[in-house]
């Protein structure tokens, strides 16, 4: 089975409402008949408008950048998966390193969020990845293994098969330093083999694993050309329509 290839953008806390609509429209207009799936990870205030824009385009979807683990309740300022779903988004980015670092999101909380997203039949884009010190100590595979074991590997096979994984080495996020294609490939292969050990080779073979960390038009082709890299989660370069469209065309 051919794995789903995806170019996903993460706008983070950028673009006001009008700027966000304009960017989504420019991407939607430029998508043409691209066969590859593109996903726009937009701020919560933009989810409904951008969902309306992407609805007209095949292979373009919307993601929220976070959600609360509870279905509803007294959690001032939070957004539930049901709310996200009700405005047309199908994906939720979870466990981004910025959420882990600035909002203290740990393994257990992320496991609960993954469960809630799947219960509502949305798709988690689960981020994992190591800081520089761990990479330098050469313990990055063990680090990512723990992230997967503690937040994803409790899932039954049928649920795990819905998950998209994004490997994002923290030292490459927003720094302009990209993992080399060989570094990305090595880690993606290691992740696939962890999935094979926990589930099966068949499940590992069908799991989409994205690379994130300073992906840009100039390096996307080579990164996406690695056998175990199924696309990218893109921050900075997803904020310019022309750049993101070029990345979508890099498979
Ligand atoms: C990200 O935010 O997930 C990311 C990879 O950012 P950038 O592409 O800017 O490094």
Residues 30-44: tens digit of each pLDDT: 997 777 899 999 999
Closest ligand 1 atom to the C-alpha of 175?
A: 10
Q: Helix and strand tally (H, E) in the chain?
A: 12, 8
In a domain, 168, yes or no: yes
Does residue 174 line the site of ligand 1, with CB under 6 A? yes
DSSP string, 42-75: --GGGHHHHHHHHTTSTTEEEEES---SSSSSS-
CATH classification of the domain holding 117 = 3.20.20.70
pLDDT tens digit sequence for 174-185 = 998 899 999 999
pLDDT value at 1 more than 80: no
Does residue 98 line the site of ligand 1, with CB under 6 A? no
Closest ligand 1 atom to the C-alpha of 212?
A: 5
Mean pLDDT of 157-168: 98
> In degrees, to the nearest 5, what angle opens at C-alpha 51 toward C-alphas 50 and 52?
90
Q: State residue 23's pLDDT score.
A: 98
pLDDT tens digit sequence for 138-151 = 999 999 999 999 99
CA of 95 to the centre of ligand 1 (A): 13
Closest ligand 1 atom to the C-alpha of 172?
A: 10
Q: Which domain holds residue 74?
A: 6-248
In a domain, 213, yes or no: yes
Q: Nearest CA to 36 among 239, 186, 173, 220?
A: 220
In a domain, 193, yes or no: yes
Does residue 173 line the site of ligand 1, with CB under 6 A? yes
Residue 170 to residue 118: CA distance in whole angstroms: 26
In a domain, 14, yes or no: yes
- How many Cβ atoms from other residues are within 10 Å of residue 140's Cβ? 22
Domain count, the chain: 1
User: Atom 4 of ligand 1 has which residue's CA nearest to it?
Assistant: 235
Tokens representing 22 are: 């304009």
Judge whether 166 and 8 are in contact, CB under 8 Å: yes
| H or E stretch covering 92 | strand 91-94
In a domain, 122, yes or no: yes
In a domain, 1, yes or no: no
Q: State residue 33's pLDDT score.
A: 75
Residue 136 to residue 140: CA distance in whole angstroms: 8
In a domain, 150, yes or no: yes
CA of 40 to the centre of ligand 1 (A): 13
DSSP string, 123-165: EEEEEE---HHHHHTT-HHHHHHHHHHHHTTTS-HHHHTT-EE
Q: Are strands 231-234 and 60-64 parallel, antiparallel or unpaired?
A: unpaired
Mean pLDDT of 96-121: 98
Does residue 179 line the site of ligand 1, with CB under 6 A? no
CA of 173 to the centre of ligand 1 (A): 5
């Amino acid at each position: 089975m051919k794995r789903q290839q995806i170019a996903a953008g993460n706008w983070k806390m950028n673009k006001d409402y009008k700027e966000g609509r304009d960017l989504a429209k420019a991407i939607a207009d430029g998508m043409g008949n691209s066969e590859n799936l593109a996903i726009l990870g937009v701020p919560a205030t933009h989810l409904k408008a951008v969902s309306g824009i992407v609805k007209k385009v095949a292979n373009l979807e919307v993601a929220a950048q976070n959600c609360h683990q509870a279905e509803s309740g007294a959690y001032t300022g939070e957004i539930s998966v049901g709310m996200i779903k009700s405005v047309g988004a199908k994906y939720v980015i979870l466990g981004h390193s910025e959420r882990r670092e600035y909002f203290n999101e740990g393994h257990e909380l992320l496991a609960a969020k993954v469960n809630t997203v799947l219960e509502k039949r949305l798709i988690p884009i689960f981020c994992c990845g190591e800081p520089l010190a761990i990479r330098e100590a050469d313990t990055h595979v063990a680090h990512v293994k723990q992230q997967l074991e503690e937040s994803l590997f409790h899932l039954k096979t049928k649920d795990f098969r819905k998950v998209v994984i994004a490997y994002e080495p923290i030292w490459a996020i927003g720094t302009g330093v990209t993992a080399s294609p060989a570094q990305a490939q090595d880690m993606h292969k290691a992740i696939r083999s962890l999935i094979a050990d926990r589930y099966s080779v068949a499940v590992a073979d069908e799991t989409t694993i994205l690379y994130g960390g300073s992906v840009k038009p100039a390096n996307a082709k080579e990164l996406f050309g690695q056998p175990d890299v199924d696309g990218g989660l893109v921050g900075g370069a997803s904020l310019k329509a022309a750049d993101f469209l070029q990345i979508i065309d890099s498979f």
